[in-house]
């Protein structure tokens, strides 16, 4: 698999590149955001590791530009340990967030976790009450009342997690673990935000229905009855 590493500190980039290649990854290193965008135009990448503090384009802005063409998994590297920066990175769609200094072996492990999480589930069609929801796990598509929902990666992940256990109450921590893996240190706000946008898309299909139930202090559940 091909990994795009965007890091303006050559010493860090050399260590990370070596660690990735030692584990069988093809690593392409760019010093600037501009170089990364040029590289992305000429080849496909399976994941990007982006330094937040780049000299030309900020890592967050670079993430947005790289994702204009495809849904690329992203891990951020940063020397900043502020909670606000972690939340911002995760809310724009980061799959993980690593604070410098870090262990190259840990970073490679996180790369593997993210890539494994991106693999499709078992290639089968599962259904929870055909009249309400139909989940195509292989195609990462969910139908609601017969209409395919236009979902972001995390909206899809949340709804798929709730569909796996209809009626069961899943805590925010459980949802974070299933959808974001171990990427979040704190994320109630992130889960709530994505639940809100997911609810809005469900209401676009059926304005009078709200199949997602909020259980205060506990979490969320999904009702799939007709």
195 token code pair? 């639940």
Q: List, in order, residues 6 or more apart from 90 with CB less than 8 Å away.
A: 97, 180, 183, 184, 187, 190
Query: If pLDDT is split at 50, 70 and 90, which confidence band does 217 have?
Result: confident
Q: What local confidence, expressed as pLDDT, does residue 91 receive? A: 67
Q: List, in order, residues 6 or more apart from 196 with CB less than 8 Å away.
A: none
Phi, psi of 142 (to 5 degrees): -130, 130
Query: If pLDDT is split at 50, 70 and 90, which confidence band does 81 have?
Result: low
pTM value is: 0.55
Nearest alpha-carbon partner for 4 in 19, 24, 26: 26
Residue 184, pLDDT > 60, answer no
Report the residue count for the chain: 226
Q: What local confidence, expressed as pLDDT, does residue 128 receive? A: 45
C-alpha radius of gyration, the chain, whole number: 19
The per-residue DSSP string of 31-50 comes to SSHHHHHHHHHHS--SEEEE
- pLDDT tens profile 125-153: 444 444 589 998 888 899 999 899 999 98
Q: What local confidence, expressed as pLDDT, does residue 207 receive? A: 92
- pLDDT tens profile 21-80: 998 999 999 999 999 999 999 889 999 999 988 889 888 889 988 988 778 899 988 876
- The torsion angle over the Cα atoms of residues 72, 141, 154 and 107, rounded to 10 degrees, is -40
136 token code pair? 């195509």
Q: What local confidence, expressed as pLDDT, does residue 122 receive? A: 43
């Amino acid at each position: 698999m091909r990994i795009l590493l965007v890091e303006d500190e050559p010493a860090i980039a050399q260590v990370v590149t070596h660690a990735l290649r030692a584990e069988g990854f093809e690593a392409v290193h760019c010093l600037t955001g501009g170089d990364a965008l040029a590289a992305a135009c000429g080849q496909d990448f399976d994941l990007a590791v982006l330094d937040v503090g780049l000299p030309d384009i900020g890592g967050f802005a670079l993430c947005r530009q790289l994702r204009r063409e495809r849904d690329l998994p992203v891990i951020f590297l940063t020397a900043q340990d502020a909670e606000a920066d972690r939340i911002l990175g995760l809310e724009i769609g980061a799959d993980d967030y690593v604070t410098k200094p870090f262990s190259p072996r840990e970073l490679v492990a996180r790369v593997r976790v993210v890539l494994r999480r991106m693999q499709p589930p078992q290639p089968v069609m599962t259904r929870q009450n055909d009249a309400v929801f139909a989940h195509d796990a292989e195609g990462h598509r969910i139908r609601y009342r017969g209409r395919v929902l236009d979902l972001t990666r995390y909206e899809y992940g949340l709804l798929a997690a709730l569909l796996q256990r209809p009626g069961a109450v899943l805590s925010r921590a459980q949802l974070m673990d299933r959808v974001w893996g171990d990427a979040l240190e704190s994320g109630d706000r992130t889960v709530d935000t994505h639940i809100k946008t997911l609810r809005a898309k469900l209401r676009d299909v059926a304005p009078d229905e709200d199949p997602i139930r909020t259980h205060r202090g506990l979490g969320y559940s999904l009702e799939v009855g007709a």
